[in-house]
Amino acid sequence: MTQKIRVIVADDHVCVRVGVSRLLQSAPHIQIVGEASDTQALAELLDNFACDVVVSDIGMAGIHGGSNAVSFLRRLLRERPHPCVVVLTMISHAHMLSGLLHIGVSGIVDKRDTTSALIEAIEAAMAGCVYLSDQARYAIEDADTPPQPRAGVLSAREWEVFQLYVQGLAVHEIAARLQRSGKTISTQKRSAMRKLGLETENDLIGYARQIGLA
């Protein structure tokens, strides 16, 4: 039996925590090991429970009374080893989102994209990829001078194409399933490979096997 992905959910709004936890509990390969309403509670959970992925808002009160959790997440991501971090937010400021990528978060999911994107973000994080939900990606791309996120950031669409391709679907089959052009699918596939540092089809299949997708 494959070990479940152990997740802690952190958000200062109880309705968000409940909704996110219910969504994740519907996925048979994910286990909620704790919920936190602030960074102090999150730190205590991390001290007491093994965790693979932290899903966290950044608007929670900081341990030392700050107005956000970014400083705590930055310290967490400097530790070795550390859990992956997926940020769940309504922030759409491009440089703020880019800054989260630069401190090492594995994914950013806009709360408007939660239902479809959060489980994908967790899976991508566990596969060693960086994930942006659609709204987060749009915010960065629409900036007048787009900030440069760290290498390896796969968009939601690129990750979707990557998963289907390594499952054995041809480009034209993926295009039909996703209702996109074959040219678009080919471009997204090449972009995903470039961001992951994969040069050949054999590299792609080998990488997929390493992370358990093939």
In tens, the pLDDT along 70-110 reads 878 888 988 889 999 999 998 887 877 887 888 889 999 99
- Single-letter amino acid code for the residue at 1: M
**What does the alpha-carbon distance between residue 68 and residue 46 come to, in Å, rounded to a whole number?**
18
Q: Would you tell me how many other CB atoms lie within 10 Å of the CB of residue 78?
A: 10
**What does the alpha-carbon distance between residue 144 and residue 192 come to, in Å, rounded to a whole number?**
24
User: Mind listing the pLDDT tens digit for each residue in 112-140?
Assistant: 888 879 999 999 999 888 999 999 988 88
Assigned token pair, 92: 């759409």
**What does the alpha-carbon distance between residue 187 and residue 194 come to, in Å, rounded to a whole number?**
11
Q: What residues contact 167, with CB distance under 8 A and at least 6 apart?
A: 213, 214
- Residue ranges of domains in the chain, CATH in brackets: 5-150 (3.40.50.2300), 156-214 (1.10.10.10)
